Structure 1
Amino acid sequence: MVAVDATSPSLSPARAATVGATPRRRRHRPRRILAHLLILTLGLSWMYPLIWAFTSAFKSKIGMFEDGPSILFSQPPVLGNFAQAWSGADFGQYFFNSVFIAFFSVLGTVLFTAMAGYALARTAFPGRRIIMVVVAVMLFLPRGYTLIPVYDLVYQLYLLNTLWAVIVVQVAGGMIFSTFLFMGFFMTANKEMEEAARVDGASFNQTFFRVMLPTARPMIATVGLFAFIGSWNDFIIPLVLTLGRPDLRTVPVGMASLIGGAEGTNWPVLCAASVISLLPIVIVFLVAQRHIVDAFAGAVKG
């Protein structure tokens, strides 16, 4: 058998590059396999608690403690934990409250932050830099420091123990980061469409709502997803602002109420409630996934 030299003049440049790259690929193949195994191991270790919670939702109390951290079943699966979490623990009402709050929180956050980001990105007015600095400083302010003033403000507005109080506070709390996202998007957006709309006689508001906002769909999906996750997982704000109305509890607050009690904690029911609370986030992420990828791809390209 005759050995083939990658530098032989009888080989084309493409063939020579392929022949020369083959040994190099073989040398790096063990490293790639090791890297893939390491990533797979880390991914499974990260996902294992979620898988364990899902399987534990189908176990009885005795079966859960007998199995320990194992995801296997030593006893037949139990299907009544989800029904008990939904109806017996009044989880259906908590779920409705969370959906109501998350819907209007996402709507308000996207609308107000898009307008604020467009105004900061496209207009020059006195005090613009000061506003941007103040907003940037507030981004690093812990929420615990503002809890008492927020509670007093909600009380003065006669919104205490209402779902609207939670919505207003969540929208206000999510505006800082989302405003910066929209501001960065509109700074890099194409100005030709905006200039063409103004030439056609469109006002500033018409240009924003009819021309610029439709082009920001990837950023709308990204901000909406972040706002939804923040609203759905929020615990301290719904707890404090609806403390006098147990029927206004959200899913995280309702899950906390399942811990303890006279009969102890029913851990399989708590795991079933955790699975139920996780489903909306997974569904929303799957729906908005394509737009989120487009938003990050556009940011990297820009």
Structure 2
Amino acid sequence: MLGLTALCALWIYPFLWLVSASFKGPLEMFQKGLNLMPDAFDWGNYTRAWQDGGFSTYMLNTFLVTSGTVILVIFHCSLSGYVLGRYEFIGRKTVIGVLAATFVIPLGFTIIPIVDLSRNLGLLNSHAGIILALGGSGQAAAILLYAGFFSRIPKEVEEAAIVDGAGFLRIFFSIMLPLAGPVTATVAVLSFLAAWNSFLVPLVFTFGNPNLRTLAVGMLAFVGTNETDWSGMAAAATLSLVPVVTFFFLVQKYFVEGVAGAIKS
């Protein structure tokens, strides 16, 4: 028990230090070292981050991008997983193999073709472009997770629906997708966290329009040519983490059930 408590304290300490640093002045932040208690709580860091740093706009941008990404990922990954898991067709194993192979490809290697394609489609410097770049690529894990789940559902379920006159889309949206609730919960949580914390794609897609930046990219506002506003950055980082931590605490039950249900299925 004592060992677990010490390990928990070790894991949570960096977050506590970040919150503590967000209330300190620039000099105090370094003078205090590992001490968590500030001499005085300086709320001006949060005011500077929210207003001067533009984080009120970045927060809204991040909510829009994250929500759109989660919806897109669930939509196309569930459909793709359904086809791969339920239908036999020529090249099916090849497709699954290619998807599995994409796990070892870093995002930095694919950013150039993604940007080039988005530029040709006129999607650079737009929320839609960021959402498509985040949600439309690199989702092999979600697709294979759905495929594995759907492949284990008895075929009698579809056959009964076909007898009742249901078509492909009706069967998928009315029967199969609701059955995949555990997988959908897991995919939604992982997609939310990935999209919220994404840096490279939003950075590249907002070069021409800084007002479209997300929270992760907005941190650059505190880095100047000659100095860095560390206390302001700490406040901004704390602001960006609060929605993520709150979201995870609210859905952790569904996330754990989703992982357990997906594995059991």
With the shorter chain as reference, the TM-score category is over 0.9
Task: After the TM superposition, list the runs of 4 or more consecutive aligned residues in structure 1 that deviate by more than 6 angstroms.
Answer: none
Asked if residue 258 in structure 1 is aligned to residue 222 in structure 2, the reply is yes
Deviations, residues 235-280 of structure 1 (Å, cap 9, x unaligned): 1111112111111111111112312345x22222111111111112
Asked if residue 269 in structure 1 is aligned to residue 229 in structure 2, the reply is no
TM-score (norm 1): 0.83
User: What is residue 212 of structure 1 aligned with on the other side?
Assistant: 176
Task: Determine if contact 2:186/2:258 at 8 Å carries over to the other structure.
Answer: yes
Distance 2:21 2:118 in 1: 40
Distance 2:43 2:191 in 1: 33
What pairs with 1:1-302 in structure 2 (closer than 5 Å)? 36-73=1-38, 75-262=39-226, 264-302=227-265
Name stretches of at least 5 consecutive residues in structure 1 with no aligned partner.
1-35
Partner AA of 2:159 in structure 1? E
TM-score (norm 2): 0.94
Partner AA of 2:24 in structure 1? K
Name stretches of at least 5 consecutive residues in structure 2 with no aligned partner.
none
Partner AA of 1:50 in structure 2? F
Distance 1:78 1:275 in 2: 14
Deviations, residues 56-84 of structure 1 (Å, cap 9, x unaligned): 112222332331121123x1211222121
Q: Could you say what secondary structure the match of 1:125 adopts?
A: coil
Distance 2:144 2:12 in 1: 32
Q: Which shifted more, 96-105 or 143-152?
A: 143-152
Partner AA of 2:242 in structure 1? L
Cα 1:245/1:214, change in 2 over 3 Å: same
Task: Determine if contact 1:219/1:291 at 8 Å carries over to the other structure.
Answer: no
Shift of 1:49: 0.6
Distance 2:95 2:33 in 1: 54
User: What is residue 18 of structure 1 aligned with on the other side?
Assistant: none
Distance 2:140 2:13 in 1: 34
| Structure index of larger Rg | 1
Partner AA of 1:61 in structure 2? P
Q: Could you say what secondary structure the match of 1:173 adopts?
A: coil
Partner AA of 1:284 in structure 2? F
Identity %: 37
Q: RMSD between aligned alpha carbons?
A: 1.6
